[in-house]
Amino acid sequence: MKPNTQSVLRCTSRLSRHAASRSSKRTLINSASRLSLRHRAPSQTQSRGLTIADLDKSKGDRERVVILGSGWAGYPLARTLDPKKFQAVIVSPRSYFVFTPLLASTSVGTLEFRTALEPIRSRRSKARYIQGWADDVDFFNKTVTVEEAVADPNQGLALTGPRYEGKTEEEVVNVLQSKKIKGQVFNLSYDKLAIAVGCYSQTFNIPGVREHAHFLKDVGDARAIRKRLLECFEAAALPTTPDTVRRQLLTFAIVGGGPTGIEFSAELHDLCTEEMSRIYPELAEFVSITVYDVAPKVLGMFDDKLAKYAADTFKREGIAIKTSHHVENITRGLPGVEYSPASTRPGLTLKVKEEGEMGVGMVVWSTGLQMNPFVERALSTVRRFPRKEVIFKAQDQEVTDAEAKTWTIARDGRSGGLLTNDRLRVMLESNSSSGNGETRKRAFMKDVFAIGDCGVVEGTAYPATAQVANQKALYLGKRLNRNDMQQQRFTWKNLGIMAYLGNWRALVQGGSGFGNISGRTAWIIWRGAYLMMALSWKNRILIPVYWVINWIFGRDISRF
Amino acid sequence: MKPNTQSVLRCTSRLSRHAASRSSKRTLINSASRLSLRHRAPSQTQSRGLTIADLDKSKGDRERVVILGSGWAGYPLARTLDPKKFQAVIVSPRSYFVFTPLLASTSVGTLEFRTALEPIRSRRSKARYIQGWADDVDFFNKTVTVEEAVADPNQGLALTGPRYEGKTEEEVVNVLQSKKIKGQVFNLSYDKLAIAVGCYSQTFNIPGVREHAHFLKDVGDARAIRKRLLECFEAAALPTTPDTVRRQLLTFAIVGGGPTGIEFSAELHDLCTEEMSRIYPELAEFVSITVYDVAPKVLGMFDDKLAKYAADTFKREGIAIKTSHHVENITRGLPGVEYSPASTRPGLTLKVKEEGEMGVGMVVWSTGLQMNPFVERALSTVRRFPRKEVIFKAQDQEVTDAEAKTWTIARDGRSGGLLTNDRLRVMLESNSSSGNGETRKRAFMKDVFAIGDCGVVEGTAYPATAQVANQKALYLGKRLNRNDMQQQRFTWKNLGIMAYLGNWRALVQGGSGFGNISGRTAWIIWRGAYLMMALSWKNRILIPVYWVINWIFGRDISRF
């Protein structure tokens, strides 16, 4: 059997930036879904047959909940679901959950990387796991198309663009064809589907950011930052490095003045004052840390008083905050030095509109989120309307002419996220031009949920934070366990926000209950809260061990 | 100033396999040494001037001991030297010391990677450090040529071949030229020199070993093994993987039946029985571990009775030991599957002479040592005889016609290591054909020492182990501190050998004092000894914490 080029092209059209027009795309999708991978003859070039028999056998008479994603929404949902009632199957390219608030600490060595991780598979875990990317969803047949991602080379790094970006159409076709032939793409059926794929990191397509900046969304990012930081110090310490270059290598730029950028700057400052100034005393004078933001102030989500406290603290500690500044590009190599692949030295050139070009050792980028390409492209038009699965929003009417219409997945206008109702069910809409003008029909899929950053509850403006994602997941898990979704709608309970400011100081802005606190007391709350939130007992033990050990003996600066 | 091509060619000739003939090489070296990097004009394309002023300033009236290497010889020497009397400067491409006996434990997650590391730079460390490769030594002018290695991409991985191998002559010239121009190569003067560069891993040039096998000499190796292991399990767990492929991916081959190979097999077996069988119960039946060795028995350095105990233990636990087996090559991809770069799956084909081809998930290679290319090539002929630095072996005579002769560095015939006397001083020899036949003159350099695996004390056959390296370093450090080298020669005190066998069992073969012990008691000694040997208090605390935590909660199988 020849590989089906059309079906491959379908994927390509979604993945490449120049998507085919909507109608021709649909045709390709249809022809693709006819080519069910399950029915391929066993006489393949590869001996890998297609079976999810193990999974089906262990399912028993439970419902299968397929969860796409293992972040702040997907992972808690899988933990919450009652294994007696549901077979939870996580599909995610990451084999672990990242406790993101501790990433900044791990990136400077205050904590070890694995203290911020929980493996999806563990001795106690009841959830099943498939390491893969969700490629497509068929809402009519209730299957997800999954592409394996076991040895993905970008594992552990922040996602910033479509997987096949930069590849030509032809290269993508080749990759996908080869994966199909080898059975590396397969269908997984679901009874309920929770879309929790999260967002990608926003780069605003500023040249060089994706290639040369560091993000702070995954544990691989934290590791890369730690390595680069220490590399900059080591290069600056070489006897051959002149002072001008030392100053450039030890200039660290953080772009984005939200909690992530601020906390990282604070942790970096701690590292420099507590560790590096003792280990490299001769370099202390060259170090500088600068936070850039396009907005006129940082920590915009905090009260003015707290934000001012943060700004004052940073000023006192010597961290520069440059608001209303615009990064224009990042290139490899220090200014005026032609980059060559033979160079094994760190160093970047950062161009800021207001300042011009400057040499820096590292740029850490944290300017918010962009919609996941899976949500943007794969989840657009609905191939066949999943009639029986629908519940109406108003009046409990049935949709009478569903199959005759083109249904699309409703989106939040601002973020592009999946619109859901207050039960987190994904919304469909259809524009039918029948006689008296356009009427807009709406429907909700009973068994398809969007949680976390990729879903937006209609009529709300909840922030895209871990807290909201986590609350959505717990709501959904509990409602499914008790089967009482109709009785209770989702509302977000604001538990407040925190930010670490360095030197044992923090900000805590109370949600319901708490007031606003800053300084040492806030720092104790900050540490205590994260310790309590740590999901496993293992990490609840290891985290304070590292806090104490590294406070006494210093952070480890071995680099490998 | 144009870059000097000759000097670059000199390096090339050493680094490439087809070295120029000795005499022409010497000419090149001489022309190179005339091109002192210190005298280059400051009007370079790069602004990096050449100065080791900082280092010279802090030296004061102390002697500078340059130590090449940061392993079991270099690192303890730097710690032992009295900072009041000596300025210790470590030159090494690794910014940390690896406590190698614990590497196998870290490779399966029983311990965290950093518990097996000690950073060379720390709050307490008195030694100076330059991250670089020693490229050449000028014994007359007492300088070492150092090439920076801060951002070396192979950092943390076992060394298996010359750095520039695989590159054409032209490419190497380009790289080195560019490094020279940028001032990435510089000279460092010494009063005393300790060569402690260690050995590379032996591959016997078996095709595919260097590219596809994993070694276990550095922390990056341990990390790569951990990642690959978990990758194999995850790929085998995919619903699309047929049982035949599962069996291949979960076949682990260990080549080399020395303590490293045996201990790794034992740790891997522990991981499989204690962790993987619970996390992936459906895969337990597919796992197999095999140790290959060309010799007729494993653990040849142990008494027969202990070696038999090990073999019996392995047999009972289901680890196969295949002695008198010869690996012929390793290729990428499973047998019968054409490899393509689009494949993101693990899998290798291992060809064993006695068994033919088979699919395996991973090969761990541990078949001993080969001489360091720096020792083999850079340290060969002595450009100019360092007259004043010489002490005679016999009769305390001076060498009268030293400058007229060609001096080479004496070598151990078997290993190619640097021959030293029993004060660890490096030996020179000269073949002069004067009148009545050949006479062989010998000399020792007063201030040049070889310690660790790269040095061989004349007339001894001490094994190339951490224990010997460590004792040499401590001897040298103490003698230099007390300035009493003439009173005391170096002898190795055999403290015994140990090997972990898995399932809380070990072997201990006593040196002076101890008897032979096997089983649970030996395991307690094994753990206790390593804990006591851990060099820092930080690791002495963290190691038992991890032992207990991972015993209670299980090893972390997050992969990133």
Question: Which of the residues B8, B52, B103, B121 would you substitute to probe the A interface, choosing the one with the greatest number of A C-beta atoms within 10 Å?
Answer: B121
Residues sharing a CB contact under 8 Å with residue B184, sequence separation 6 or more, in sequence order: A240, A345, B48, B147, B148
Beta pairing, strands A251-255 & A288-292: parallel
Closest Cα in chain B to A158: B560
How far is CA B400 from its chain centroid? 39
Which of A180-189, A334-343, A438-447, B516-525 has the weakest average pLDDT?
A334-343
Cα dist from B403 to A119, B24, B140, B338, B387, whole Å: 67, 19, 11, 61, 8
Q: In A, which residues are within 8 Å of B218 by CB distance? A: 560
* Beta strands A63-68 and A86-92, pairing class: parallel
Q: CB under 8 Å to A312, separation ≥6 — which residues? A: none
Residue type, A124: R
How close is the nearest chain B Cα to the Cα of A103, in Å? 14
Which of the residues A178, A558, A559 would you substitute to probe the B interface, choosing the one with the greatest number of B C-beta atoms within 10 Å?
A558
Classified by CATH at the fold level, domain B5-199 comes out as FAD/NAD(P)-binding domain (3.50.50)
**In this complex, do B234 and A536 lie within 8 Å of one another by their Cβ atoms?**
no
- Please tell me the predicted confidence (pLDDT) of residue B432: 64
Give the model's confidence band at B438: pLDDT under 50 very low, under 70 low, under 90 confident, else very high.
Answer: low
Q: Which of residues 243-272 of B touch A (CB under 8 A)?
A: 244-245
Of B52, B150, B239, the CB nearest to A234: B150
Higher pLDDT, A190 or B240: A190
**Distance (Å) from the alpha carbon of B357 to chain A's nearest alpha carbon:** 17
* Residue A43 sits at the chain B interface (C-beta within 8 Å): no
Among the listed residues B57, B120, B125, the one whose alpha carbon sits nearest the alpha carbon of residue B94: B120
| Predicted confidence (pLDDT) at residue B49 exceeds the cutoff of 80 | no
Q: Does B344 touch chain A (CB under 8 A)?
A: yes
Dig out the tokens for A183 from the structure.
């059975």
Measured distance CA(A52)–CA(A66) in Å, rounded: 13
Of A48, A220, A345, the CB nearest to B242: A48
Q: Considering only residues A432 and A281, tell me which one the structure prediction assigns the higher pLDDT.
A: A281
Is A112 near chain B, with CB under 8 Å?
A: yes
Identity of the residue numbered A325: H
A417, A418, A421, A427: CA torsion to nearest 10: 150
CB atoms within 10 A of CB A46: 17
Largest CA distance in chain A: 81
Asked if pLDDT for residue B220 goes beyond 90, the answer is: yes
Q: Higher-confidence residue: A47 or A172?
A: A172
Residue pLDDT, tens place only, A468-503: 999 999 999 999 999 999 899 999 999 899 999 999
SS3 A364: strand
User: Which two structure tokens, joined as six digits, stand for A542?
Assistant: 């290891």
pTM summary value: 0.88
Of A53, A554, A560, the CB nearest to B155: A560
Asked if A122 is an interface residue toward chain B (Cβ–Cβ < 8 A), one would say yes
Q: How high is the pLDDT of residue A344?
A: 61
Does residue A68 sit at the B interface (CB-CB below 8 Å)?
no
CATH architecture under which domain B209-367 falls: 3-Layer(bba) Sandwich (3.50)
pLDDT of residue B152: 80
For residues A93-108, give the mean pLDDT.
95
Distance in Å from the first CA to the final CA of chain A: 47
Bridge partners, residue B90, by sequence: B67, B129
Q: Which residues, 6+ apart, have CB-to-CB distance to A41 below 8 Å? A: A1
Cα separation, A415 vs A463, whole angstroms: 11
- Whether A553 has its CB under 8 Å from any CB of chain B: the answer is yes
Q: What is the mean pLDDT of residues A94-122?
A: 95
Is B554 within 8 Å of chain A by CB?
Answer: yes
Residue partners of B336: CB distance under 8 A and separation at least 6: none
Mean pLDDT score, A523-547: 92
Average pLDDT over residues B262-271: 96
Looking at the complex, report in whole angstroms how far the Cα of residue B272 sits from the nearest Cα belonging to chain A.
13
CB contact under 8 A, B184 and A240: yes
Structure tokens at A242: 């002149």
Using the structure block, give the residue that is written with the tokens 């029986």.
Answer: A388
DSSP state of A19: P
DSSP category for residue B101: G
How far is the C-alpha of B70 from the C-alpha of B196, rounded, in Å?
8
Interchain CB distance below 8 Å, B239 and A182:
no
Distance CA A266, CA A360 (A): 18
Residue A126 contacts B, CB cutoff 8 Å: no
Do B557 and A122 count as a contact with CB atoms less than 8 A apart?
yes
List the single range of A281-285, A490-494, B288-292, B529-533 with lowest mean pLDDT: B529-533
**CA torsion sign, B241 to B245 to B246 to B249?**
negative
- CB nearest A114 (choices: B118, B179, B558): B558
Measure Cα distances from A73 to A449, A465, B151 in Å: 11, 10, 37
From the list A44, A90, A39, the residue with the least C-alpha distance to A64 is: A90
Average pLDDT over residues B49-66: 80
* Residue A78, CA distances (Å) to A86, A276, A419, A454, A488 in order: 10, 42, 22, 17, 20
* Residue B4 scores a pLDDT above 60: no
Q: Do B112 and A112 touch (CB under 8 A)?
A: yes
Task: Pinpoint the residues of chain B covered by CATH 3.50.50.100.
Answer: 209-367
Write the DSSP string, A172-202. HHHHHHHHHHTT-EEEEE-SEEEE----EEP
- Helix, strand, coil percentages (3-state) for chain A, rounded to 5, are 35, 25, 40
Dihedral sign for Cα atoms in the order B166, B168, B174, B177: positive
pLDDT tens, position by position, B114-157: 999 999 998 888 899 999 999 889 998 999 999 988 888 788 88
Contacts of B125 in chain A (CB under 8 A): 279
Q: What is the pLDDT of residue B436?
A: 56
In Å, the largest CA–CA distance within chain B is: 81
User: Which of these, B319, B325, B335, lies nearest to B263 by C-alpha position?
Assistant: B319
B282 at A interface, C-beta within 8 A:
yes
Mean pLDDT of chain B: 85
Partner residue opposite A342 with nearest CB, options B114, B123, B174: B174
Q: pLDDT tens-digit profile of A56-73? A: 888 889 999 999 999 999
Q: At what angle do helices A5-15 and A22-34 cross, to 10 degrees?
A: 140
Q: Which letter does DSSP use for residue B357 in this model?
A: E
Q: Is A147 exposed, middle or buried (0-12, 13-18, 19+ CB in 10 A)?
A: buried
**What pLDDT is attached to residue B25?**
35
Q: Of A47, A131, A278, which has the smallest distance from its Cβ to B244's Cβ?
A: A47
Give residue A429's pLDDT.
87
pLDDT in tens, A231-241: 999 999 998 88
B149 interfaces chain A, CB cutoff of 8 Å: yes
User: Is the Cβ of B103 closer than 8 Å to some Cβ of chain A?
Assistant: no
3-state SS class at A3: coil
Is there a contact between A287 and A244 (Cβ–Cβ < 8 Å)?
A: no
Whether residue B219 and residue A560 make contact (CB cut-off 8 A), yes or no, is yes
B538 and A CB contact within 8 Å: yes
Do the Cβ atoms of A231 and B278 come within 8 Å? no
- Choose among A158, A178, A159: nearest CA to A170: A178
For residue A501, count other CB atoms closer than 10 A to its CB.
29
pLDDT value, residue B254: 98
B221 CB within 8 Å of a chain A CB? no
**Identity at B341, one-letter amino acid code:** P
Most confident of A139-148, A355-364, B4-13: A355-364
Q: Does B75 touch chain A (CB under 8 A)?
A: no
Provide the pLDDT for residue A345: 73
pLDDT at residue B205 tops 50: yes
In this prediction, residues A23-30 reach a mean pLDDT of 33
Question: Counting beta carbons within 10 angstroms of the beta carbon of residue A449, is it exposed (0 to 12), middle (13 to 18) or buried (19 or more)?
Answer: buried
Averaged pLDDT for residues B48-72: 82
Residue with tokens 């990012």: A221
Q: What are the respective helix, strand and coil percentages of chain B, to the nearest 5?
A: 35, 25, 40
For chain A, helix (H) and strand (E) counts, in that order, are: 16, 27
DSSP state of B93: S
Closest chain B residue to A149, measured at CA: B344
pLDDT tens digits along B421-433: 999 999 988 876 5
What pLDDT is recorded for position B24?
36
- Which of B129, B156, B282 lies closest to A54 in CB terms? B282
Bigger pLDDT: B24 vs A552: A552
Say yes or no for a CB contact (<8 Å) between A54 and B239.
Answer: yes
Note whether B150 and A231 are within 8 A (CB).
yes
Q: Which one of B50, B125, B223 has the shortest CB-CB distance to A240?
A: B50
Joined together, the tokens standing for residue A505 give: 């100081």
